Structure formats: C-alpha cells, structure tokens
Amino acid sequence: MDTRWKPSVTVAAIIEQSGKFLLVEEHTPAGLRLNNPAGHLDPGESLVDGCAREALEETTRSFRPTGLVGVYLSRQQRPARDTESDPDITYLRFAFCGELGAVQLGRQLDRGIVRTLWLTPTEIYASAERHRSPLLVRCMDDYLAGQRYPLDFLYTDPKVANGNRSQPE
C-alpha cells in the first residue's frame, strides 16, 4: 500500500520584548521542555489565525502576527513507544513575529503547558538540552537578524475556511 508523506504543519509565535523572548514550559514525552508558543494548524484556519490561536491557548495572551519570520522544515525521530504510531515526524513550521496583547482574564494555559517565562537569548542558548525543537534557536536567531516577510506573502484560499476540499487542478 502506498502512503503519501504528509508533514505536520505547525505555527509558532516569536515574541520579544525588552530583549527577552516569551517561551512556554510544557510536558512532553521526553519530560519538561521549552518552546515558542506553537502548535498544529487546525482544519479551516489560516496560518496567521492558527498562530494567534496557539499563542492565546499557550500563554493566555492575545497575539497579532505582523510578519513572517520564516518557514522551516525539520525532522524529529524519537524512540518508538506503545502509544505512538509514528515516532518519525517531519514538521513544516511557519514562525511569526507580532504584537503581544494583554492577558485574557478567565483563560487558563492549554493542557500540558506548565508556565510561561521570559528568557534572554543567552539564557535560551544555555538551556539547549531543554528545547522541545531545534527550531526554537533558529527562529530566534532569524528574528534577531531582522528577517521578516510581509503577511501578504501568504495566501489562504477561501475554501479552506468553509471546510471544502478542492480537487487537484
């Protein structure tokens, strides 16, 4: 049986204020790890909307993406576990910078998120053994280098939002 390869599409918020970056500490199969506020794109949402949603869910703060920092492809191979069907996963990450808003009262951190924390680049480099993804540092470095692309670089077909799947052309 032929199986089509499908990378997991993720969105990440690269949030910097006063020289520090907002990260989340989260439970993972490998223990507590640090990551950008990030997660999987949900069906029916644009990349920008997905990033805003994930940032809100993981930090309880609103986030408005204003620029695309970069698009990244990475692969993670983990030891197989009984609960995992495929420990070899390729991620396609879209990382955004933007404006962080206020805490949304009454919201709780997403399941698995222990806390949010602000770290300097030096502290982030020093905690490499605790990073969930090797892309955490790469996205931060690209942001610090001034890498930005306008959001109109991205296009979402209107059929995505209403759940229709178009046939290949």
Give the CATH number, domain containing residue 127.
3.90.79.10
Does 168 fall in a domain?
no
The one-character DSSP state at 37 is S
Tracing tokens 């869910």 back to the chain, one arrives at 57
* Tens-place pLDDT, residues 86-116: 568 899 999 999 999 999 999 999 999 999 9
Which residues, 6+ apart, have CB-to-CB distance to 131 below 8 Å?
33, 34, 35, 137
Residue 147 CB coordination number (10 Å): 16
User: Which pTM was predicted?
Assistant: 0.88
Does 169 fall in a domain?
no
Structurally, how many domains does the chain consist of? 1
Q: Is the pLDDT of residue 157 over 80?
A: yes
Does 165 fall in a domain?
no
Measured between alpha carbons, how far is 161 from 147 in angstroms, rounded to an integer? 29
Residue 161: both structure tokens together: 């939002």
Per-residue pLDDT band for 167 (boundaries 50, 70, 90) equals very low
Measured between alpha carbons, how far is 70 from 134 in angstroms, rounded to an integer? 14
Does 167 fall in a domain?
no
Q: By residue range, what is the domain housing residue 79?
A: 8-149
Does 158 fall in a domain?
no
